[in-house]
Amino acid sequence: MCESVYFTQRTLVEARAGAPPVGIYQLVSTLINAYLSLLGRVPVVGLILAASVSVIVGDYAAKAWSLSHQEWYLFLAFAGYFFSGFFYIPTLLRDGLIVTSVIWVLLSTIGFLVIGILIFKETLSLTQTIAVILGVISVLVLTISGH
């Protein structure tokens, strides 16, 4: 047991000193590099759209779960939220936090509104409706000014 602990500690020291990672660290490093390489080929707009759709699916499922208490809706909600981050995080390597997050929030908000109004029959006040319109305008301005 002591030998195993020593090996782990020595491996951590070597990994920090620039030696190639071994074992679990090599696996994690390989998976992260594959993930970043794969999603690095997707345009930022595509990743933001995928992240927005994922969180919209997550919120739809969470709302459906809150009404029905069916476990599969809860699982779908967690999966939607996970994949939202999965697609969003790589956008930060290629674009700024402010623009990407504002676009993500506004696209997601539009999706939430559509689902809330059309599927769950929720309503908006006049002030909320005006805010949604201003939000759509701001997404267009952010998107156009970025090109």
pLDDT (0 to 100) of residue 24: 87
- Domain of residue 17 covers 1-41
- Give the residue carrying structure tokens 């599927």: 119
Which residues lie below 8 Å from residue 91, measured CB to CB, with a gap of 6+?
44, 47, 48, 51, 100
**88 and 110 assigned to the same domain:** yes
CA-to-CA separations, 4 to 7, 84, 100, in angstroms, rounded:
5, 38, 45
pLDDT (0 to 100) of residue 1: 42
**52 and 119 assigned to the same domain:** yes
Distance, in Å, from the CA atom of 67 to the CA atom of 69, rounded to the nearest integer, reads 6
Q: Report the number of distinct structural domains present in the chain.
A: 2
**33 and 47 assigned to the same domain:** no
**78 and 141 assigned to the same domain:** yes
pLDDT (0 to 100) of residue 95: 87
**30 and 56 assigned to the same domain:** no
List the chain pLDDT tens, one digit each, 147 residues: 444 333 344 454 555 555 555 688 888 889 999 999 999 999 999 999 999 999 999 999 999 999 999 999 999 999 999 999 999 999 999 988 888 888 898 889 889 989 999 999 999 999 998 988 888 788 778 777 765
**24 and 47 assigned to the same domain:** no
Distance, in Å, from the CA atom of 56 to the CA atom of 135, rounded to the nearest integer, reads 17
**14 and 56 assigned to the same domain:** no
User: Residue 136 in contact with residue 106, Cβ under 8 Å?
Assistant: yes
**64 and 135 assigned to the same domain:** yes
Distance, in Å, from the CA atom of 103 to the CA atom of 32, rounded to the nearest integer, reads 25
**3 and 66 assigned to the same domain:** no
pLDDT (0 to 100) of residue 21: 54
Q: Which burial class, exposed, middle or buried, applies to 100 when counting CB atoms under 10 A from its CB (0-12, 13-18, 19+)?
A: buried
